[in-house]
């Protein structure tokens, strides 16, 4: 009986730790360049984490002019991020059928470009 209580306590601690980790912010960096979806924000392979950013992720959009040269475009759908940092030389385009909700902050450094097309 004593060991059962200890095992249950350990399982509870592990579960709480895993839940806490799942709820913390992580950083997801734009890479772009996936064949056929080079600029598609909604393509998991275009992101450093291998997943499209969500409300719990901090996003960094770097200057890719000397690399792939491909900046993110939100063409359709509703996208989310906890925060977005646009580095100098970065660009983000949101088209008429797309939307982006940023829950914490949107910051830009140096010359960056935020393009809103549509309405």
Percent of the chain with pLDDT over 90: 73
**What pLDDT, in 10s, does the model give residues 7-37?**
554 554 554 444 444 556 799 999 999 999 9
Residues in contact with 5: Cβ distance below 8 Å, sequence separation at least 6, in sequence order:
none
For 67-79, write each residue's pLDDT tens digit. 889 999 999 999 9
Q: Are 62 and 84 in contact (CB under 8 A)?
A: no
């Amino acid at each position: 009986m004593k060991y059962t209580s200890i095992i249950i306590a350990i399982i509870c601690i592990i579960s709480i730790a895993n839940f806490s980790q799942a709820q913390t912010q992580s950083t997801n960096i734009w890479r772009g360049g996936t064949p056929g979806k080079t600029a598609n924000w909604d393509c998991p392979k275009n992101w450093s984490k291998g997943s499209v950013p969500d409300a719990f992720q901090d996003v960094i959009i770097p200057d890719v002019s000397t690399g792939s040269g491909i900046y993110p475009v939100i063409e359709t759908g509703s996208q989310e991020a906890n925060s977005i940092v646009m580095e100098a030389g970065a660009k983000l385009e949101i088209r008429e059928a797309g939307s982006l909700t940023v829950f914490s902050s949107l910051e830009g450094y140096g010359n960056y470009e935020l393009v809103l097309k549509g309405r």
